[in-house]
Amino acid sequence: MNKNIGNSAHYQTPPKWYSRFIPKVIKQRWARWLTRRIPPNQQVTLSHKSIFILPSAFGIAWFMLIVVLYLFGTNYQNNLVIGLSLLLASVLHTCIIYSYKNLAGLTLTASMPPESIANTSLAFPVVLSSKQKKDLSNTNHQQICLNFAQQRHIRIGDVGESFNATVGYSPQNRGPFNPGRIQVSSNFPLGLFRAWSYVDLNIEQLIFAEPLQTTVSLTSLDDDNNTEFEHGKLQPGVDDYKGLKTYVEGESLKQVAWKQWAQGRGMLSKEFAQPEGKPVWLSLADTQGDDLEHKLSKLAWQVNALSQAHQIFGLVLDNQIIEQDSGESHRKQCQQLIASYGYRDITRSTQGELDEN
């Protein structure tokens, strides 16, 4: 079930019009040069080696106005017009310095991303920090934009000493994923220049399979059916009754509290201290589905359902086995195995190439 989410275009922006005219070889060389100049690191501080500055469209128009005014003033020997052109030129020159200072010294640190599920929007937390002087607290790192390639940006009005930002990414499929470099840009102060940088925070994310509701189906790894215990029953002599809990689809009907159900309290099941009987497993081979992704999505839902019910279970994916256990850490371990199934190496995603910006 390798499908594309329908609303992903809502989070994406089309590539720049000029990117189609750039040869692939140039793009590859540019990417290698960036890797050498701004290597991947979980914490990056921007400096003169990693900041690029070019005039914006407004800045080019501003420069052309300066040229026109200067030519007009010299031609007609009008000192007032010449003075105006020099004033505008000084403003243009000053904006170059302030555009650089607005990004210089800004530190970006990658945080642990939250648990992500396939075909849902991804969120990557980034901490922006700066060592500011008290008398210059209102002049540093303003109007900062953050975005991945071809993704919508977020705008930060004032970073201050520290700011926790979340950079979004469009929905992706199950498996290991690296969003690539984050573009940090700003048009501060007057929009005459655009200063930007490409920061690789070495973000690696394992996207869990999208859970697909189904019936919980437990199986056994052995063929020994000549036992007095059945799947899901309690061990004889273990009567450590804990209480009632909400009935989960797939549990044995013998554990249902029928007396409470007759009283109109809904479907409840009895919870004991020790589950029992034969080991129970979730198996890919015994899961029904249209294709591999469909089966893995069903397994992902069953793992969550059994974990919420505090049941002990194991997971079998071909020759990969996770022994029976319970709890949140066991659930994450099972989900990680499902998410990485079929991926031998965690490679960097081809998405997020800077040359599309």
C-beta separation of 281 from 313 below 8 A: yes
Q: Where are the alpha helices (DSSP H) in 234-291?
A: 258-262
Domain residue ranges in the chain: 6-54+102-205
What is the structure's pLDDT at 258? 73
For the chain, percent of residues with pLDDT exceeding 90: 45
Say if residue 137's pLDDT is above 90: no
What is the structure's pLDDT at 190? 92
Our CA angle for 194, 349, 165, nearest 5°, is 50
What is the structure's pLDDT at 248? 74
Mean pLDDT of 169-198: 93
Residue found by looking up tokens 């030129």 in the block: 89
Tokens of 89: 């030129």
Residue found by looking up tokens 């899961």 in the block: 287
**pLDDT band for position 134 (cuts 50, 70, 90):** low
Mean pLDDT of 60-66: 95
Say if residue 183's pLDDT is above 60: yes
CA distances, 339 to each of 125, 184, 298, 333, 344 (Å): 21, 31, 12, 10, 12
Say if residue 207's pLDDT is above 80: yes
C-beta separation of 285 from 224 below 8 A: no
Report the alpha-carbon distance of residue 140 to residue 100 in Å, rounded.
10
Q: Tell me: the pLDDT tens digits for 24-44?
A: 888 888 889 988 999 999 999
Report the alpha-carbon distance of residue 293 to residue 2 in Å, rounded.
7
Report the alpha-carbon distance of residue 276 to residue 147 in Å, rounded.
51
More confident residue, 211 or 254: 211
Give the residue from 112, 130, 317, 99 showing the smallest Cα distance to 204.
112
Say if residue 234's pLDDT is above 50: no
What is the structure's pLDDT at 257? 75
Tokens of 169: 């990414």
The span from the first CA to the last CA of the chain, in angstroms, equals 30
**pLDDT band for position 127 (cuts 50, 70, 90):** very high
What is the structure's pLDDT at 222? 59
Helix (H, G, I), strand (E, B) or coil at 123: strand
Say if residue 350's pLDDT is above 90: no
Residue found by looking up tokens 């036992």 in the block: 227
Report the alpha-carbon distance of residue 49 to residue 67 in Å, rounded.
31
Q: What is the overall mean pLDDT for the chain?
A: 80
What is the structure's pLDDT at 24? 83
More confident residue, 204 or 279: 204
Mean pLDDT of 250-276: 69
Say if residue 131's pLDDT is above 80: no
What is the structure's pLDDT at 18? 65
What is the structure's pLDDT at 160? 82
Our CA angle for 95, 97, 99, nearest 5°, is 65
What is the structure's pLDDT at 232? 41
Mean pLDDT of 186-194: 93
- State the Cα torsion 53-59-65-70 to the nearest 10°: -20
- State the Cα torsion 49-51-57-58 to the nearest 10°: -120
Q: Tell me: the pLDDT tens digits for 85-103?
A: 999 999 999 999 999 999 9
Mean pLDDT of 271-290: 72
Helix (H, G, I), strand (E, B) or coil at 185: strand
Mean pLDDT of 61-70: 95
Please name every residue paired with 166 in a beta bridge, in sequence order, or none if there are none. 125
Say if residue 82's pLDDT is above 50: yes
Say if residue 12's pLDDT is above 70: no
Helices 292-308, 328-340: inter-axial angle, 10-degree rounding? 180
Rg (CA), the chain: 30
Tokens of 53: 């500055």
Say if residue 346's pLDDT is above 60: no
